[in-house]
Amino acid sequence: MYQVGTLVKELSDKYGRERKSLMPILQEIVHKHNYLTDEAMVEVAKELDISAAEVYGTASFYTFLDTTLKGKYVIRVCKTITCSMKGKTDIIHILEDILKIKVGETTPDRQFSLVETNCIGWCHKAPAILINDMPYTELTPEKVTDIIKGYMRK
Amino acid sequence: MKNKGLNKVDLIFEKIDSKEVLEKVYKMTPAGIVQGVLDSGLKGRGGAGFPTGLKWKYTAAEKETVKYVVCNADEGEPGTFKDREILDRVSYKVYGGMLIAGKAIGAQTGIVYLRGEYRYLLPKLLIELDAFNKQIKEIGFDFNIEFRMGSGAYICGEESALFESIEGKRGEPRNKPPYPTTSGVFDKPTSINNVETLVTAMMIMAHGAEKFVQLGTKDSRGSKVFSVSGDTPTPGIFELELGMAVQHFVDEFGDGDTKAVQVGGASGFCVPRKKFTETIIGFEGVPTGGSMKLFNSSRSMYNVLHNYLDFFAEESCGQCTPCRIGCQQLLKGIEKVKKGEVQSTYLNELVKLADTMKIAAKCGLGQSVGNAFKSIVGNFREEIIY
C-alpha cells in the first residue's frame, strides 16, 4: 500500500491547493493507483481545505475517477452504436473468458478490471477498447487475446 | 433545391508555414482579426454553429483585463473523432488558432480541455506545444497555453459544464445568461471554441476570408471535417465542402444498401432514405458537428435508438429533472412498446415527453435528446414497435 498522505502532499505541492487543483490531483492519484480510496479522498480534502463530501461529490461525477476498487489495468470496452454494430459483444465474451470475470468485476489478483464505456472516438476503427490510457482498435477475438496476454506477461 | 454536390477539400490538414501566418497576424489589429473571421461567415464546428466572429467580437468588447481562450477538445459525441485526428496531425494549427483568438479578444491565456479518452495523445501534444511556444516567442507574442484533462464525462463538452470542470467541480452546466463571452471560466470573459473552429480560423488568416466564402452556401460557409462510420466501405475522416445533399454523401460513402444516415451523432437527426435527396447537410438542413453514421437495411433502428437513449440516460448529469427523468423514461418507454406491455400509441406520449425536454431541460444535452428520438420514431415507427 502506498503512503497516501505523502503522495497527496506531493501532488498538492505540484498542482497547488486551490479548488482548480482538485481534478489534476485526483486524476494523478487514479493514474498512479488505479482508483481513489476513501482515505485518499479524505487526505485531498484536508490538503485543499474543503470537505470530503466535496471531493467525493466531484470524483463520483466523473466515470474515469473511480471510487471503488479497480485493477492495475482497467479495460474499457466501447459499447456505443458503431462498436456495438461491429462486434463489441464478441470482444466482451472473449475478455470475460480470458480474465474469468464479468463486466464490472476485477480479477482476484487485482491486475484487470473490465468495464463498458461510452463512445471513445474510434468509430471508424470499431470495435475499440481502452486499456488505461491506450486505445486498441479494429479488434477481433484473436487480436484482443494477444493484447491481453501481452499485459499478463508485464 | 439546388445544391453543391460532394467536393473534397484540403484545408484543415493542409501543410502551411505557420510562422509566416502568425507573423502576418502579429501585425494585424484585434479588430482586423475579428472582421476577417466575421467576413468569412465561419460558424462553430463543434455542432452548435454559433458565428465565431461574433463570439470573438463580444468577448473583445468586455472591459476585463483577464480573459481566456478555451479550446474545447472534449469531443464526446458518438460518431465524432475528427478533433482527435486534427490534434494528432496538426496540433500547431490548433495552438495557432488559440493564439489568434487570444489576440482578437485580448487574452494572454489559453486552456485546452482534452477529453480523458485522448490522454494517450498528451505527451506528444506537449512536445509540439514546446516547439510552438519557441516559435511565437521569436515573433514576439506573449501567450501561454495549458492543458486540462477531462475524466470521461460527455456533458463536459457543454461549454459551461466544461468551465465547471476546469474549476475543479462537478461538470454541471450553468444557467445562461450570463454567457461565456461575459462570464466564462473563473467568471472571466471567455471565448470557447471547438478544435476544428480554431484551425479553420487559422486557415482563414492564411488564405483570406474571400477564399473561404467561395466554399459552401450562404448559411453554411466553408468546408468541414466529417467523421464517417457505420455501414460504409470507407470509414474515416473526410474534409468536404458544406452544402451537399445527404444523397451525394451516400453515393460516395454508402455500401449500396444505406437505409438511414444519422447526422450529428446521438444528439443529431436521423435522415431516412426517402429524404436523402431533399436534405442538405449544413445549417439550412441538418446541422452537424461532423458525425455521420450510415446504417444499412440489416440494422434495427430500434437497437440504434435504444443505444442512443442508454447513452443519454448514463451521460445526463442529473441536475435538472426533465433530462434526468426524461432520458430514463424514454428508454424504458421504448422497451415497453417493444415488449408489447403498452400499446403502440404510447409512442405518442413519449414524443410529447421529448418535446417537453426540448423546452424544459437546462442545457443542450436534454434539449437535443428529442432530435434523434423523434426522427427515428417518426421515420421508423414499425421498427420500434415490431
Averaged confidence pLDDT in chain B: 96
Q: What is the pLDDT of residue A1?
A: 55
Q: What is the pLDDT of residue B183?
A: 97
How far away is chain A from the Cα of B252, in angstroms, using its nearest Cα? 16
Candidate from A58, A64, A125 with C-beta closest to B169 = A58
Residues from chain A contacting residue B314 (CB–CB below 8 Å): 118
Residues from chain B contacting residue A120 (CB–CB below 8 Å): 117
Helix (H) or strand (E) holding A115: strand A112-117
Q: What is the pLDDT of residue B48?
A: 85
**Would you give per-residue pLDDT tens digits along chain B (386 residues)?**
445 688 999 999 999 999 999 999 999 999 999 999 999 999 999 888 899 999 999 999 999 999 999 999 999 999 999 999 999 999 999 999 999 999 999 999 999 999 999 999 999 999 999 999 999 999 999 999 999 999 999 999 999 999 999 999 999 999 999 999 999 999 999 999 999 999 999 999 999 999 899 999 988 999 999 999 999 999 999 999 999 999 999 999 999 999 999 999 999 999 999 999 999 999 888 988 899 999 999 999 999 999 999 999 999 999 999 999 999 999 999 999 999 999 999 999 999 999 999 999 999 999 999 999 999 999 999 999 99
The chain B residue lying nearest A58, using CA atoms, is B170
Q: Which residues of B91-110 are buried (b: 16+ CB within 10 A; e: fewer)?
A: bbbbbbbbbbbbbbbbbebb
Residues from chain A contacting residue B168 (CB–CB below 8 Å): 18-23, 58
Burial class (CB in 10 A: 0-12, 13-18, 19+), A90: middle
Tens-digit pLDDT profile for residues B33-82: 999 999 999 999 988 889 999 999 999 999 999 999 999 999 999 999 99
The answer to whether the CB of B261 falls within 8 A of the CB of B250 is yes
Gap between the Cα atoms of B301 and B9, Å rounded:
32
Residues above pLDDT 70, as percent of chain B: 99
C-alpha cell at B99: 493564439
Residue ranges of chain A with per-residue pLDDT less than 70? 1
Half-sphere exposure (Cβ direction) of B351: Cα atoms closer than 13 Å: 13
Please give the model's pTM, rounded to 2 decimal places: 0.96
Determine whether the interchain pair B171/A61 forms a contact, defined as Cβ–Cβ distance below 8 Å: yes
- DSSP character string of B161-193: HHHHHHTTS--PPPPSSSPTTTS-GGGS-EEEE
Q: What is the ipTM of this complex?
A: 0.97
Tens-digit pLDDT profile for residues A71-82: 999 999 999 999
Interface test with A, best of B117, B185, B187, B226 (most A CBs within 10 A): B117
Chains A, B: CB contacts under 8 A, how many?
A: 117
Determine whether the interchain pair B228/A124 forms a contact, defined as Cβ–Cβ distance below 8 Å: yes
Residues from chain A contacting residue B307 (CB–CB below 8 Å): 79-81, 84
Tens-digit pLDDT profile for residues B336-384: 999 999 999 999 999 999 999 999 999 999 999 999 999 999 999 999 9
Determine whether the interchain pair A123/B230 forms a contact, defined as Cβ–Cβ distance below 8 Å: yes
Report H helices in B168-300: 195-207, 209-213, 246-253
Residues from chain B contacting residue A57 (CB–CB below 8 Å): 170
Would you give the DSSP letter of residue A4?
Answer: H
